[in-house]
Structure 1
Amino acid sequence: MSSSNSQGETKALLDTGVVSTAAAGGANFFNQAAQTIQQAQKEGPLTFRILGFLGGLAMIVSNGLAILERFFSFSFARSLMAVYGVIFGVIIVFMDAPFPIICSQKIQTGIHSYAKFLDYTWGRGLFFFFVGTLQVSNVNMLDWAVGGFMIFVGVVAMGVGMATANQMRLVRFAVKDESTLKQKWKEHDANGDGSLDVKELTAFVNDAGVTMTRNEIAAFYLALDKNFDQRIAYEEFYAWWTRESDHSSRVV
Structure 2
Amino acid sequence: MSVKKSFGRMAKIYDKYRKADELVLRVLSNEIQELRTMKNNLSMLDIGCGTGNYSIPLAKEFDIKLTGIDFSEEMLTQAQQKFPKGKWSLQDVKTVRFEDNSFDIVLMTYFVQHIQDYDQVLRMVFRILEKPFGKLLIVTDDHDQFHASFYHRYIPRILEIDLGRFPKVGDLANDLKKIGFDVNIRKVTREMRFSDINDVEELVEKGKARYFSTLTLITDKELKEGLEKMKRALINELKSGPIARTREKTILVAYQIG
Calculate the TM-score normalised by the size of structure 1: 0.30
Higher RCO structure (Cα 8 Å, ≥6 apart) = 2
Structure with max Cα Rg: 1
Structure whose residues are more often strand by fraction? 2
Structure whose residues are more often helix by fraction? 1
Calculate the TM-score normalised by the size of structure 2: 0.30
